[in-house]
Amino acid sequence: MNKAALGIDIGTSGVRAVLLGPDGEILAMGQTAMTLPQQSFGRLWQDPHIWAAAVDEVLLGLKAKFKEHQVLALAVDGTSGTILPVDKDGAPIELAAMYNDVADEKFLDAVTKVAPEETAARGGSSPLARALEMQDKEGVQRILHQADWIAGRFSGRFDVSDENNALKTGYDPVKRTWPDWIRKTGLRMDLLPQVVAAGERTGTILPAVADRYGLPRDTAIVAGTTDGCAAFLASGASDPGDGVTSLGTTLTLKLLSDRPVFAPNYGIYSHRIGDQWLAGGASNSGGAALAVHFDRAAIVRLTPLIDPNHPTGLDYYPLPKPGERFPINDPAMQSRVTPKPDDERVFFQGLLEGIAGVEASGYRRLAELGASPLKTLRSVGGGAANEPWTRIREKLLKVRSLPPRSEHAAVGTARLAWRGIGHDPY
């Protein structure tokens, strides 16, 4: 019987679970969609029982697979910044506030007045500000993150979180504690969960839960992470200098470093993963900037025509609208896409070169701010399949490009589950 670890990924619109073997092979996968969060009076909420029902559906669908493999551990990742208040038994006492929900102004002000500049707890969608709203609800005993609550349903523990999910609620990953300044916001500190390292064992599966899904009664429950960190771990990145670029609507860079970087002016903070740090930045350039000029059909038609060996020499900085945050922090920055040649192929290649230039500048900026220099690159997202663009990017970045092991966040979470029992499949 093959040994395996189970990773569960709770996304915005669905749940995915992966059984991962000891060598990193995917042994089984299941997924299901969820009802999207509801918007009411400008706020974004979701019934956490929707998450639980989706997890239940996926795991019941994998029950036959669990019988074929010896599942040793499981971990859960969730959307970063999604929180909910629970009672003494871990039952939700109201809807969860989603990661992109915006707190009332007075609670945001309470955080802004005392929070240090480098903390990830600042900003309009601050989980800490939303926790201030929740603390006076009748019966509240703990405020948890999405992944904490789902993991608690397996272990019975509703008092523990991981360092990655806790970051945006104000946790200090350098000192590895909830800082004293949180008290000054007015939040009751007893509502905050105990925090452990991502990948640390926190308990054992409840017998009734194990029996429902056909899992061993000694399955270890391991502290998980955020969906973004899980996706990075899934890629196979392991060493300082390993970078992952997500070529989607926006351009997102993540870089594993041997030291943390906190640069609030650029929206950069660092997640702790073991003794390493995951720093990241997000540019407004990317697919949305490309879509201003070319639709999908035109991109497909023009891609085979570009020539990476002959750069256009156009010095573009494509943006979908005014404003940039990283690697340049300028809210009024204009898109630079002139001069525009008559040949649409040349113009298209110039745009791809421009976005690649932003990417290269981004990794240089992370290094300038103290992160480990880029050594290897993995690419994910829709643009990663564009082979000529990959060659353009390799020329600018001057580092080795590697294929990602997986783009499924659940794989990265299963990798953490393995770590919790002393093994890393990568």
Q: Which of 223, 153, 215 is nearest to 28 (CA)?
A: 215
Q: Is 38's pLDDT higher than 80?
A: no
Of 382, 307, 298, 309, the closest CA to residue 344 belongs to 298
pLDDT confidence of residue 39 = 78
SS3 of residue 138 by DSSP: coil
Residue 362 lies in a domain: yes
Pairwise CA distance, residues 336 & 316, whole Å: 5
Angle at 167 between CA 163 and CA 169, to 5 degrees: 120
Q: Are 35 and 146 part of one and the same domain? A: yes
Q: Would you call the peptide bond into 327 cis, given omega within 30 degrees of 0 as the criterion? A: yes
Contact indicator for 326, 282 with CB cutoff of 8 Å: yes
Cβ neighbours, 10 Å, residue 219: 26
pLDDT value at 71 more than 80: yes
- Is residue 298 domain-shared with residue 397, that is, in the same domain? yes
Q: Is the CB of residue 283 less than 8 Å from the CB of residue 271? A: no
User: How many CA atoms lie within 13 Å of 352's alpha carbon, on the beta-carbon side?
Assistant: 30
Contacts of 302 (CB under 8 A, 6+ apart): 294, 344, 345, 348
What's the CATH code of the domain at 397? 3.30.420.40
Is there a single domain that holds both residue 272 and residue 241? Answer: yes
> For the chain, what is the domain count?
2
Query: 330: which DSSP letter?
Result: B
Among 278, 80, 107, residue whose Cα is nearest residue 182? 107
Residue 390 CA, chain-centre distance (Å), reads 23
Query: Quick check: is 425 in a domain?
Result: no
- Determine the Cα–Cα distance for residues 92 and 86; give it in Å rounded to an integer: 4
Beta strands in 57-103 (DSSP E): 69-78, 83-86, 96-97
The pLDDT value given to residue 36: 81
What confidence category does residue 184 fall into, taking pLDDT thresholds of 50, 70 and 90? very high
pTM of the model: 0.93
- Of the candidates 163, 167, 169, the one whose C-alpha atom is nearest the C-alpha of residue 189 is 169
Residue 243: closest CA among 270, 269, 282, 280: 280
Tell me, what's the pLDDT at 23? 96
Asked if residue 209 belongs to a domain, the reply is yes
Is there a single domain that holds both residue 359 and residue 260? yes
Segment 337-357 shows an average pLDDT of 97
Question: At residue 42, does pLDDT exceed 80?
Answer: no
Q: What is the pLDDT of residue 285?
A: 97
| pLDDT band (50, 70, 90) for residue 273 | very high
Confidence of residue 35 (pLDDT cuts 50, 70, 90): confident
Cα-based angle 397, 400, 402 (whole degrees, multiple of 5): 115
What is the β-pairing status of strands 38-40 and 26-33? unpaired
| Concatenated DSSP letters of 58-70 | HHHHTHHHHHHEE
Residues 221 and 263 in one domain: no
β partners of residue 247: 251
- Does one domain contain both 151 and 261? no
What is the extent of the structural domain holding 192? 2-230+409-419
**Percent of the chain, pLDDT > 70?**
100
Residue 426 lies in a domain: no
The residue behind tokens 């070529």 is 247
Same domain, 11 and 137: yes
| pLDDT of 120 | 95
The whole-number average pLDDT for the span 211-235 is 97
Contacts of 344 (CB under 8 A, 6+ apart): 298, 302
Residue 362 half-sphere exposure, CB side, CA atoms within 13 Å? 33
Q: What is the dihedral of CA 287, 289, 290, 296, to 10 degrees?
A: 60
Q: Are residues 119 and 74 in the same domain?
A: yes
140 and 241 co-located in one domain: no
* Domain-located, residue 213: yes
pLDDT band at 219 (very low <50, low <70, confident <90, very high): very high
pLDDT > 80? residue 41: no
pLDDT in tens, 358-384: 999 999 999 999 999 999 999 999 899
Average per-residue pLDDT for the chain: 96
249 in the same domain as 219? no
Please name the residues in contact with 215: beta carbons below 8 A apart, sequence gap of 6 or more.
Answer: 6, 66, 71, 74, 205, 209
**Are residue 137 and residue 48 in the same domain, yes or no?**
yes
Does 30 reside within a domain?
yes
Q: Which of 12, 1, 7 is nearest to 59 (CA)?
A: 7
Would you say residue 158 lies in a domain? yes
Residues 176 and 40 reside in one and the same domain: yes
424 assigned to some structural domain: no
